[in-house]
Structures are given as C-alpha cells and as structure tokens.
Amino acid sequence: MADKITLSSPDITQREIDAVVGVLETQWLSLGPKVREFEEAFEQRLGVKHAIACNSGTSGLHMIWHSMGIGPGDEVITTPFSFIASSNSPIFEGATPVFVDIDPVTWQIDADLVESAITPQTKAVLPVDVFGATPDMDRINAIAAKYHWRVVEDSCEALGTKYKGRPAGTLGEAGVFGFYPNKQITTGEGGMVVTDDDEIATTCRSIRNQGRDEDAGWLAHARLGFNYRLPDINCAMGIVQMERLDEIIDRTEEMFVTRRAMRRVTIPVYSLLDHRVFDASLKKNYAGLDVEDLPHNFFAVSASLTTNDLHVHRHGPTWEAVRASAAIPGVLPPFITRSGDVLVDGGIVDNLPIAVMRDLKSGPNIVVSLRRQDRWRVQGSYESLPTRRGVLRDLLLVRWRKPTYPSLANVIVRGMSITSGRRLEETVEGRDLFVVPAGTEGVGFLEWEKAREVADAAYRYMAELLDRAGSLEALLKAGTQAASPAELTGTVARAN
C-alpha cells in the first residue's frame, strides 16, 4: 500500500495531554473555569470585548444568526466556495443563502459582485476567510453600511491572519473560529464567537447553554436555547494550543537569537561552524514534526550536489528540511540523505525559487524580496588582511574586532545572493508580482536578531501598497507598468 500523506494533522504535545488529564482529575468537566480562561485567551489575542466558546464553528455561526434575529424570508449573501457549514448556518434559522462568485485571483468572495446579488430580502453578508486569507473587507463593510446589513465573518480557517493589521474574525460585527483537527489550533471539536457587541455576546452565552442567562438558576430559561457548550476538557487543550500558536516563529527566534545556535566556530576542515550545536537545536525544536504535518503550509528548498538541481522538501522530518536548506557551503557541512545525496543551501542555484512556488500554487503570487540593495564596500584596504598568525591569535584569544576585511562567510553569502538574484531577474513571464520594499536593509549573515524586525517592516510595506492600489487586481496590473527588475528599489514590477 502506498504511503498516505495527510492533508493536515493536529500538533499535540505532552503539554496538551497533561492539561486534559489535569481537568479529569477535578470535578469541573464542563461549565468550569477552563471555559472562561480559554475565552480570555482569545479576547487578549484578538483585542475584542467578548469571546464565547461553543462546541463547533457551525454552532457559533448559528448562535450569531439567532442573536441577530435573522430568520424566515431573510437572505444572506455569501460564497459557495466554502465548507457547507457556512451556507447551512443561516438555513438553521429559516434564512436563505445567496451566492456570489469568487475572485479568481484571491479565491475569496468577490466584493465587486456583492451588490449584484441584492434583493429586498437581503439582511446580511457572510464573508468567509477561505484557506486562511481574507476577502476585501473594507469594500464589503462599506457596502454593508450603505444598505444597513449585518456583517458576520467566518474565520474558522483564519486564526492568526491579519487584514491591514487587524486580526481576522474582528472585521465584522461578529466572527467565528473553528477548532476541528485541521485548523490552526484544535480542541478536538470546538468553536469561538468573538464580538464587541454586548447584546450579541449576552445572547450567545445564553443560547449556548439552553437559553439560561448568566448567573441564573439551573431551571431558569429566559429564551429558546441549545446545548452548544464546550467542555472544560476541550478548553484546557485549547488554552495550551493558543499558547503555542506562534510557536514556530518563537522557536526559530529562540534558536537563532537567544541560544546563538549558528555562532559556534569549529576547526575549518569541513565548515566554519560547528553543525552539532545547530543540529541539536533543530532536533529539539522540531522533535517529531514532519513537514506534511505542520499547521502552516511549508516547504524548504535545498540544492542537490548529486543531481545538480534544486531539491524540494515537502515531506519527512522538519529538522532535516531546515538543516539541508540552511547548509551554506563552507559555513555548514552539507546534509547527507539516507540515500547518500549531498544537499546544500538552495541559494547556490536559486535563493527565491519561483518555479517551485508555482508548482505548489499556480498564482498569481506576490514575491517579497528582502535582499540587500546597498553596494557592498568595506573600510579596510587589501593590505589590512591579517596574516595567519594574526588570525590564529584572534581565534585563540576569542578577540572580537569590527571586521575591516570581508570574511569567508560574508563572501560566500554575497556571492550566492548575486547568483540567485541574476537568475531571478532573467525570469520574466508576467504572472507573478515581484516586490522589493523601500528601505529594506535585508538580513545579513548571522543577523538573526533582525529577522522579525525586517519581516514586520516588509509586511507593513505590502499592506500600505495594497491599500494604495485599492485591490490585489489593481496592484498586479500596476506591476506591469512599473520599472524593470534591475530598478526595483521601492517599486513593484512583474519579474516572473
């Protein structure tokens, strides 16, 4: 039988197991303190007034429609390109979903088609954050305000996503997240309603618990309700999952910045750096995680000195994929596979593998380059190059001086950047958008502490660029009229 590659897989550690067991050892299996603790984690993460835990994202959507009074004769505009629960939810209350097509570029509901679906019965719009992306929420909210509709955001697949700096799920009157095992975090089954509306929050809390008001007696039912409660067992698991939501980013920063895993120099026979320290950090941080089971879409690219081509890592141990793709020749030893293939950093062939990306996602894709734009010059002269005795003395005394001459590592990395950059500029097909953010300094060799700062700056630049363009389609169109790839600093251009 052929090996099965799962579409997605939950990431469960001993911490989640211990948290669940801890609840089982108490008397509070449901309606206990873990429910509120889980809700507070969402309120703090998203910056909302209210989070209401429930037993599924589907239940969350149903509760919102019920609390808004959406019912028979009403219509809700939404997308057909979603799991069936999105469309089922208004039907539960007797309302009718009305479909509009998706944007062929983003796969999200096409905001420009929303008004074409309006009838006198239209009362709400339900945008769905498909595959963790968001539609044009500014445009959708503007249309909704014009016609006095309710806006409910189905963010079941988008925990952690941001739209112009605002978290997904907070872009309408209310939003919903789901915790089925294929989501960013899981509680086995579960969901969460988030809103700043006091009335929606109060009603949802009541109807998830058989219509009881908070602090009311067990048999005091103020309204028709449902059993949509999420047990403390599931909430305990969700609390840990929320704490681990940024784990991959935090793991990487801890490994490179705090523990300085790639700064241990060795005797330069096979490499400049001691690979054992780096390998141990990778194994610890990615223990038991395979590429295909990561909660984020991930691939790594190395260069095979065996096949003289790029090697794409789409499955297998994550630590090996990261290790192979980081093996800068001369800096770290090559990674050797079980079959004997020799793998090094993919940058010696292509540091921005657009062709590989296209195979995984046809696009159009936006490619953001953080490469340095400066002309590399040094203060020292050729005569300042230390002698063998001087280099040895500095190594033995662990003496640190500001370099006046390019190091071996810097020369290797800069050379790889030039090679891959020239290849990128020679690849022009007009499908994807290549962007170099204005003022980007890039991340130099071993400058790990700058990685997050530069990435955040690039994100803000792209958000501003999209905002100015008005839409992704307009931005892609503008790219065809911009400068050539060789003149890209602070501009956009079609480079691929």
Residues with a catalytic annotation lie at 183
Alpha-carbon distance 418 to 440, whole Å? 17
> What are phi and psi for residue 158, nearest 5 degrees?
-130, 25
Helices 318-325 and 275-285 meet at what angle, rounded to 10?
A: 150
The token pair at 161 is: 């996503």
Q: Is 53 exposed, middle or buried (0-12, 13-18, 19+ CB in 10 A)?
A: buried
Tell me how far apart the alpha carbons of residues 237 and 51 are, in angstroms, rounded to a whole number. 17
Residues 6+ apart with CB under 8 A from 311: 301, 302, 303, 304, 324, 341, 343, 346
C-alpha atoms less than 13 angstroms from C-alpha of 166 in its C-beta half-sphere: 13
CA quadruple 348, 354, 357, 359: dihedral positive or negative?
A: negative
With residues binned 3-state (H G I as helix, E B as strand, rest as coil), the percentages for the chain, rounded to 5, are 40, 15, 45
Distance between CA 19 and CA 241 in Å, rounded? Answer: 10
Residue type, 202: T
Supply the DSSP symbol for 181. T
Name the CA radius of gyration of the chain, rounded. Answer: 26
Residue found by looking up tokens 């679906």 in the block: 117
CA distance 485 to 436: 9
- Angstrom CA distances, 353 to 180, 286, 369, 424, stand at 33, 24, 11, 8
Nearest residue to 151 (alpha-carbon basis) of 120, 183, 206, 197: 197
Question: Could you tell me if 143 and 137 are in contact, meaning their C-beta atoms sit under 8 angstroms apart?
Answer: no
**Euclidean distance between CA atoms 256 and 262, whole angstroms:** 7
Residue 364: asked if its preceding bond is cis (omega within 30°), the reply is: yes
Contact residues for 270 (Cβ-Cβ < 8 A; gap 6+): 333
